[in-house]
Amino acid sequence: MKRIIGASVTLLVALAVVAVAYHPTPSQASDHDDGDADLKGRALNLTDHFAFKSPASPDELSIITYFNPRSLPGRQYFMSTEARYEQHITLVSDKTATPTGKDDFVLRYEAGAPDAGGVQQVKLTVLKDMGGTLTEVGNMTGATTDFANSKAGGANIHINTGSVGGLTTKWFIGARADSFVFDVQRFFQVRAFLADRFFGGGAPNKGNTAAALGPNCRGDQFLALGDTTKETQPSDGDVINLWNPPSCAPDFTKNYNVTAIVMNLKIAELTGTVFDTWSTISVPQAQ
């Protein structure tokens, strides 16, 4: 969930619920990449959710939903034809208010089968809270952008526009380079070291005082302790080298794509200035 406050963004809780049913059932929070599974394929796997005031049009709110993680370069990936992809918006009275998860607006995307060129027709439905009941207030049909045109960018990208339920919508669905950066190898190394150091088999309440962490990818020792022979170029201003520096840290999402749903809305039409937003993907409940 992201809270949007005027011209700034305050991240409260990263929340993206995946593979929930149309009827109430337990749900799971996204952790960027759950991996492929028999019951939840790549197209049902949420990664990241972004919300911010558009730099190009400050009167617009941009909401971005990523799914299809680890999409291979040069390959076309699709929306599931069985799923509802939804972006949720709560109107918030104050930036310090506790998130409620109330749906004041829901933007729902439902895709048809791809054509021979890899384009899917997508129905956008806008739902709005009407006296305590979430009610459909309008819909329109748009289309995704195929991989080749998404890669080409510029005028090749298909932008859907239309007034739906009192909201001026401008939206795009297609492949984008994954903007998530994460050194997963060092993360697991550091996690194992900290678990051993604080909770390992050492003295009671002291953990394992002999726990060690290997040098980072540049060869800097974990604790340089002012010894310049062990730290050639401090990456963060100190001599405790938990993490790999950007110069050599491996990014596990490098050269992977995601599918993005990008929506721009007029802030004034949302009748608020502070918003909580989040994304979900839902599929029909098995009978």
pLDDT confidence of 34, banded at 50, 70, 90?
A: low
Can you tell me the mean pLDDT for 115-139? 96
Q: Left (φ > 0), alpha (ψ -120 to 50) or beta: where does 93 sit?
A: alpha
pLDDT for residue 286 is more than 90: no
Q: Do 191 and 172 share a domain, yes or no?
A: no
Residues 207 and 272 occupy one common structural domain = no
Check whether residue 58 and residue 174 sit in a common domain: yes
How many domains does the chain divide into? 2
Parallel, antiparallel, or unpaired for β 160-164 and 121-130? unpaired
Containing H/E element for 152? helix 147-152
Question: Would you say 28 and 281 are in contact if contact means Cβ atoms under 8 Å apart?
Answer: no
Q: Are 120 and 262 in a shared domain?
A: yes
Domain match, 160 and 193 both: no
DSSP state letter for 232: S
Q: Do 102 and 219 lie in a common domain?
A: no
Same domain, 71 and 130: yes
Tell me the residue range of the domain where 245 lies: 183-250
Q: Using alpha carbons, select from 50, 37, 44 the residue that is nearest to residue 17.
A: 44
pLDDT band of 28, cuts 50, 70, 90: low
Tokens at 43, concatenated: 């197209």
Do 87 and 166 lie in one domain? The reply is yes
Regarding whether 241 and 275 lie in a shared domain, the answer is: no
Q: Which residue has the higher pLDDT, 13 or 120?
A: 120
> Dihedral angle at the C-alpha atoms of 61, 82, 71, 26, nearest 10 degrees?
80
- Are the CB atoms for 277 and 51 separated by under 8 Å? yes
Token pair for 85:
């992809």
- CA distances (Å), origin 6, targets 12, 60, 171: 15, 11, 21
Asked if residue 152 and residue 96 are part of one domain, the reply reads: yes
Residue 36 has pLDDT above 80, yes or no: no
85 lies in the same domain as 162: yes
The two structure tokens encoding residue 159: 């932008």
Q: Tens of pLDDT along 176-235?
A: 999 888 899 999 999 999 999 999 877 777 899 889 999 999 888 888 776 666 666 666
Phi then psi dihedrals of residue 29, to 5 deg: -85, 145
Q: Are residues 83 and 153 in the same domain?
A: yes
